Structure formats: C-alpha cells, structure tokens
Amino acid sequence: MTTTRLFSTIFLLLYFTSLFAQDEPPFRFGIRGGGNLYSGVLSVAPEISKKLHAGYQIGLTAEYEFRDNVYLQTEVGLTTKGVVYKGSEVLEGGVRQWTQNFTLRYLEVPFLIAYKPEIEENISLYFHGGPYFAYGIGGKTRLKITHKQAEGEDVDTSQDSFGENGFKKLDIGIRFGSGLEFEKYTIGFDFEYGLTNISRKDTKLSSLLNDRGFKNKGVCLSLGYKF
C-alpha cells in the first residue's frame, strides 16, 4: 500500500469514527503540517562540521478530552529527519572536500498528554509532551567529494539510508512543545529528542561516527486544522 493510500484510509476511518463520537467528552480529528530542522545527538571530531537538515512533517491528528482542558493526543505522520556532515582534508597541492547528507523518512506516531488553558473566547494555549515511535520507510544518503587543486576523482553517489550500511529503522524518543489554538486552527512549535541509538555497529557509518552512535534531535514549526 502506498503512503497516499495509507493516509487516505486512515483519514476515512477517523472521519467515520468521529460521526459516532459522543459530544462529551469530544473526539477531534485534524491535519497538521510544517517544516523542521534536524541534527543528531553527537559530538563529532573537530575537523568535521555538523549542519542542520531541513525537512517536513505532515500528518492526521486525533485528540480526546478526558478532563477539563486535559487531552490525550496522537497522530499518524510522515516526517523527514537527518543531518549533514562536512569535512576537508589537505592533500599535496590542494584540498579534498566532502559533504555527506543523510535524509531519513519516517512514519511516526506520538502519544501525548496536552493541557489547554483558555486565554480568550475561542483562543487557547496548549502545552503537550510524551513519547513518539517512528519507523524508517525510506530516504537517501548522498556523498559528494570534490578536489580543489588536488589529484583525485570527484564522487557524487547515494544509497538507501536504511540499507545494510545505514541506520536502524526503529526510532523512539520524546516530543514536547506548545502552541496556540484559535477555533479550528493551530500553530505550534515542537522539539523532539531521540532516545534510541539508530547507528549500526561495524559499518562505514559507525566508522564516520567513531562508533559513538547517533540519535535524532530536531525542532518543528507547524500549522493545523481540526474538523
């Protein structure tokens, strides 16, 4: 089943479920999307620089109010994470420069507890937090090597980020954040911190990371709409 068909099926299930939901306490469903910046929980060697990886998040959301202003929230989302490493090496007569861009695409489901105090009529702040579970479904790792006034062959290759020499597919961590809700619209800022070392041992990747492991870490700014 393609990702589009999967999201369409889940959306229809949520819609028809909402038709039978009780008025009190209410179920609410919606959509959410935005941009993110990810890196990794890792201190790299001084000669290697670490850059933020820009990506996106999009998902179908659901929440259940089990006490006044207190909610259980979840989501089935598609998100991209990753990191960019850059380095250089002085050679005879010139410099070799390299960039390795890791793009990791996940299907992610968080389970959050949210508190929503109302500050004005139809306007509420919200604060939420809890664990997330993500499973890698795709992505590419691109390696680019260039030589400046030095002998050597330039390289520009890519491979599956979750392949034999790539990352582990399962990622578990925590998400917390806050935002503003106005009637059916939301704007929010979230932070994610991975608890799982997703680097495989004895691979080219672990050699690059000096066998110290790798954990996802990032922030997301999103807009949402609730039905």
Query: For the chain, what is the domain count?
Result: 1
Residue 39 sits in a domain whose CATH number is: 2.40.160
By residue range, what is the domain housing residue 194?
3-226
Q: Which residue has the higher pLDDT, 20 or 105?
A: 105
Q: How far apart are CA 101 and CA 99, in angstroms?
A: 6
What band does 21 get if pLDDT is binned at 50, 70 and 90? very low
C-beta separation of 126 from 114 below 8 A: yes
* Residues 51-72: tens digit of each pLDDT: 899 999 999 999 999 888 999 9
H helix or E strand, kind and range, residue 118:
strand 118-120
Q: Check residues 10 and 123 and name the one with the higher pLDDT.
A: 123
How far apart are the C-alpha atoms of 160 and 139, rounded to whole Å? 6
**Torsion angle in degrees (nearest 10) through CA of 38, 39, 40, 46:** 180
Please give the model's pTM, rounded to 2 decimal places.
0.80
Select the more confidently predicted residue: 90 or 205: 90
Confidence band for 155, pLDDT divided at 50, 70 and 90: confident
Say whether 164 sits in a helix, a strand or coil: coil
